[in-house]
Amino acid sequence: MTEKTYSIPNISCGHCVATIEREVGALQGVDTVTGDVDGKQVTVACGDETVLLRVEEVLKEIGYPPAA
């Protein structure tokens, strides 16, 4: 299993986290998505590293681009 934590500077509330968890969690191959409002981070676990490329695209599409 592959796990990656993304820094998401514009997470500001529980609604932001819920949106990210719902949208990213719907991707095929994603096992878990855990958001942290206080840390402004999202951790994604998946079975395949290539899924992480799609995770980054979805984060950008829904308005929560990861910090570079």
1-43, pLDDT tens digit by residue?
899 999 999 999 999 999 999 999 999 999 999 999 999 999 9
**Range 51-60 average pLDDT:** 96
- Asked whether the predicted pLDDT for residue 68 surpasses 80, the reply is no
Q: Tell me how many degrees the CA angle 15-12-68 measures, rounded to the nearest 5.
A: 115
Q: How confident is the model at residue 46 (pLDDT cuts 50, 70, 90)?
A: very high
For domain 2-61, the question of CATH label 3.30.70.100 is answered with: yes
pTM of the shown model: 0.93
- Asked whether the predicted pLDDT for residue 66 surpasses 90, the reply is yes
Residue 1: predicted pLDDT: 86
Which amino acid is residue 25, in one-letter code? G
